[in-house]
Amino acid sequence: MDKELQIKELEKELAESRQEKLAVEEQLSFITAANNKLKEEIYQLKSLIYSSTALITFLKGPEHRIEFANDSIIKVWGKGSDVVGKPLFEVLPEIREQGIQGYLHQVYYQGEPYHARSLPVEHNVNGEMVKSFFDFSYMPQYNSQGKVIGVGVIAQDVTSQTKLHQKVKKSEKEFRELVDFMPHKISIADADGNPVFFNQSWVDYTGLNMEECLEAPWIKLIHPEHSKKFEDEMKESLKSGKDLDLELKIRNRSGDYKWHLHRAIAMKDDGIITSWISSSTEIQKLKEEEQRKQDFLKLVSHELKTPVTSIKGYVQLLQSIIQNDENNITKPYLYRIEGQVERLIRLISEMLDLSRIEKNELELNKENFSLNEHLENIIEDISYIHKDVQIELDHEYEGEVKADKDRIGQVIINFITNALKYSPDNKKVQIKIFKEERNMVGVSVRDFGIGIEQKDLTRIFQRFYRVSSENEKTYAGFGIGLYLSNEIIERHNGKIFVNSEPGEGSEFTFLIPLNHT
Ligand code: ADP
């Protein structure tokens, strides 16, 4: 009986120890899995550090012994892979005196991290000193008791970025020096037109320093007569992104205003305006010369007007005397003289008109007349003198206008004579009278001559502007006809414009209001 009891007891103990074994086995497998996971993570972490492009090393103890160094830093050191275990300055003695030892000591002994950007370091690679730039982080590393045991280093080789940055800085410096050296006044403004830079010429001219130039509203330097126009045109350019181009007077350090040609162009990035570059060139001498030229022309025109008008009278007298004498050989020559005298008279009147405009004395005598008939008469007169031309007239619109008949005639004659003058090889001119929306009537004169380049299209309406080319010499003129035409049409509240292609010809058009008020 006792034996049976013993056996039972033993069986019970066996079952219990089996269960305990199972529990231990379970725990063991759990620990093994956790261990494997940890190993896996350490492996991943190590391979991440080893393969990283960042330069990573751990320097142990006061000697900064290389405890660990990843592939990237070993490559940059260029001293082979058996550097681990050696003190840093034994491996790279050349960097000791470049401040590195000081930084490492500071981190190791004071326990404070140190960071540096674009730090230049020269080190010996295969016998050659190579200068590189690094972003550095030196961090103290602690043991479980909180004592510093070494320095962790993470660095990045930023040599190419630093060199690029240095290049950009150098070229910016060169640009500034070049801009300061220039006699032109150069300024830069942001996308909204607020100035951010003025060159030395500005400082010299205004007597203000850079800060004062930037603080003083620009507009204060512009002559009050021109400030409104400048503001309007600048607003328009800022809105449209179109170049700014105007003449205005700017105040100098002595308080005198001098004429300048002011130009601004928009700098764009992907079509978006990022800034504006402006140049102002002094044209005071040019303006004074222009004034002298104008005064001289005014004087000459006054002096010539009377004799030329009387020549015309005598020519007409002679023409009427020989009118019925069919065999008189002087007849064609008299017509030629008349044509030339007409030209001269027109030129003289243009000169006199110039000074009238200057004094704001160009008045309009408006009357009702048929624009169609007026055009027909003008064409008849011109064809009478220019026998070899072919002028076509298209009456798309027929009706009366209220305008200054002579002045409108002057514009039309200017358009037609220019069309003939600037068409040496093709004497065909097409003229059209047409009606525009908004109650405007228009006249366009189309030729097939030399045409005008895009850059000159708006400038030909300026006083004395002539397209500069060899043609300027070939085609006689003073560059005032279109200026006067523009003034006349503006005074009629109309519009004048031109479309042209070099080599294809030009089409000059004016529009005037049709209303009879
Ligand atoms: P001018 O003909 O006396 O020089 P304008 O004021 O009439 O003066 O014209 C200004 C400039 O515009 C001319 O010098 C010429 O270069 C250009 N121009 C005017 N009309 C034409 C045209 N039909 N074809 C080509 N160029 C023209």
Cβ-contact 339, 385 below 8 angstroms: yes
Check whether residue 343 and residue 430 sit in a common domain: no
- Atom of ligand 1 lying closest to residue 482 CA: 6
Distance in angstroms (rounded) separating the CA atoms of residues 45 and 136: 21
Residue 204 has pLDDT above 70, yes or no: yes
User: For the domain that residue 74 is a member of, what is the CATH number?
Assistant: 3.30.450.20
User: What order do you get walking across the sheet with 390-395 strand by strand?
Assistant: 390-395, 428-436, 440-447, 505-513, 495-501
Q: Are residues 370 and 333 both part of a single domain?
A: no
d(CA 499, CA 495) in angstroms, rounded, equals 13
Could you read off the pLDDT of 286-327 as tens digits, one per residue?
999 888 877 887 788 888 888 898 999 999 899 889 888 888
Query: Is there a single domain that holds both residue 206 and residue 143?
Result: no
Question: Which pLDDT band holds residue 168 (cuts at 50, 70, 90)?
Answer: very high
Closest CA to 187 of 264, 256, 82: 264
The burial of 209, by beta-carbon neighbours within 10 Å (0-12 exposed, 13-18 middle, 19 or more buried), is given as exposed
pLDDT per residue as tens digits for the range 117-151: 999 998 887 788 888 999 999 999 999 899 999 99
How far apart (Å, rounded) are the C-alpha atoms in residues 94 and 72?
19
268 and 322 housed in the same domain: no
Q: pLDDT for 259-295, tens place per residue?
A: 999 999 999 998 899 999 999 999 999 999 888 877 8
Regarding pTM above 0.95, the answer is no
DSSP 297-362: HHHHHHHHHHHHHHHHHHHHHHHHHSTT-TT-TTHHHHHHHHHHHHHHHHHHHHHHHHHHHHTT--
Q: Domain total for the chain? A: 5
Predicted local distance difference test score (pLDDT) of residue 314:
92
Give pLDDT, residue 469. Answer: 66
Indicate whether 416 and 501 sit together in one domain.
yes
Give 478 Cα–ligand 1 centroid separation in angstroms: 9
Q: Report the nearest atom of ligand 1 relative to the CA of 484.
A: 6
- Rounded to whole angstroms, the Cα distance separating 139 from 116 reads 12
426 touches 461 (CB < 8 A): no
What integer pLDDT is reported at residue 114 of this predicted model?
Answer: 94
Round to whole Å and give the CA distance between 104 and 150.
Answer: 9
Lowest-confidence region among 176-180, 191-195, 425-429, 470-474: 470-474
* Residue 429 predicted with pLDDT over 80: yes
Structure tokens that stand for 427 in this block: 């004497």
Among residues 97, 129, 148, the one where a domain terminates is: 148
Residue 231 belongs to what domain range?
182-279
In a domain, 477, yes or no: yes
Whether residue 219 sits in one domain with residue 115: no
Which residues does a 6 A CB cutoff place in the pocket of ligand 1?
Answer: 414, 418-419, 422, 447, 449-452, 460, 466-467, 477-483, 506
Q: How far is the CA of 502 from the centre of ligand 1 (A)?
A: 13
Structure tokens at 224: 């009050």
Residue 165 belongs to some domain of the structure: no
Pocket test for ligand 1, best of 357, 431, 466 (most atoms within 8 A of CB): 466
Contact 75, 52 (CB under 8 A): no
**Structure tokens, 378:** 């003008």
